[in-house]
C-alpha cells in the first residue's frame, strides 16, 4: 500500500543527511564516469594522488586515511602494483614496515585522473551557479569536523 503524497517531504527525504548522501552518490557516479576508461577506481585514484601529494605511506596509513578496511586497502594496492602504478619500498628505519610510492607510470595516471576530476569540479561549480560556494565549503567542513575525528594525513612511521 502506498501512502498519500505528503504536502512536504518527510524529515527523512527532506533532511540534510539524506540530501548529502544523494549528492555524494550523484557526484561519485559522475567521477566514476569521468575516470572509467583509465582502468582504476575512485579509491585507487585517490591512493595514487595521496601518495604523490603526501609521500610514502604504508597500507595501514592509507586504510586510516581513507577509512577503509585493511583488506580493501590491500586489494586496491595489489591492483595498483600489478599495473606498476605503485611499488613497495622498505621503510628506512622500521624494516618490517612496507611503504608504497607512485611510479612514473602511476604519476601519468594520477595527472590524467586529476584533470578529469577537476573537470567534474568545474561542472559542479557551474551547476551551483550563484550559490555562495565559500559558504557551502565552510558548511561541509563544519559538518565533517563535527561528526568525524581528524583523519591523519601522513604516515605514522616517521624516519627520525
Q: Return the closest-CA partner of residue 152 out of 30, 66, 79, 94.
A: 66
* All three cell numbers of 153: 594525513
Assigned fold of 16-147: Arc Repressor Mutant, subunit A (1.10.10)
Task: Please list the pLDDT of the chain residue by residue as tens digits (160 residues).
Answer: 556 666 777 888 888 999 999 999 999 999 999 999 999 999 999 999 999 999 989 999 899 988 899 999 999 999 999 999 999 998 888 778 899 999 999 999 999 999 999 999 999 999 999 999 999 999 998 998 888 877 666 665 565 5
The DSSP string of 6-52 is PSS--HHHHSHHHHHHHHHHHHHHHHHHHHGGGT--HHHHHHHHHHH
Per domain, the residue ranges of the chain are: 16-147
Distance between CA atoms of residues 143 and 147, nearest Å: 6
* All three cell numbers of 39: 582502468
Amino acid at each position: 500500500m502506498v501512502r498519500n503524497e505528503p504536502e512536504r517531504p518527510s524529515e527523512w527525504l527532506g533532511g540534510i543527511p539524506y540530501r548529502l548522501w544523494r549528492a555524494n552518490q550523484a557526484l561519485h557516479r559522475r567521477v566514476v564516469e569521468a575516470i572509467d576508461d583509465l582502468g582504476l577506481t575512485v579509491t585507487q585514484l585517490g591512493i595514487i594522488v595521496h601518495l604523490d601529494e603526501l609521500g610514502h605511506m604504508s597500507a595501514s596509513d592509507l586504510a586510516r586515511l581513507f577509512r577503509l578496511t585493511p583488506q580493501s586497502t590491500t586489494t586496491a594496492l595489489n591492483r595498483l602494483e600489478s599495473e606498476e602504478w605503485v611499488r613497495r619500498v622498505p621503510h628506512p628505519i622500521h624494516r618490517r614496515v612496507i611503504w608504497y610510492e607512485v611510479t612514473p607510470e602511476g604519476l601519468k595516471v594520477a595527472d590524467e585522473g586529476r584533470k578529469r576530476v577537476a573537470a567534474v569540479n568545474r561542472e559542479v561549480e557551474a551547476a551551483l551557479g550563484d550559490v555562495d560556494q565559500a559558504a557551502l565549503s565552510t558548511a561541509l567542513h563544519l559538518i565533517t569536523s563535527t561528526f568525524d575525528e581528524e583523519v591523519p594525513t601522513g604516515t605514522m612511521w616517521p624516519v627520525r
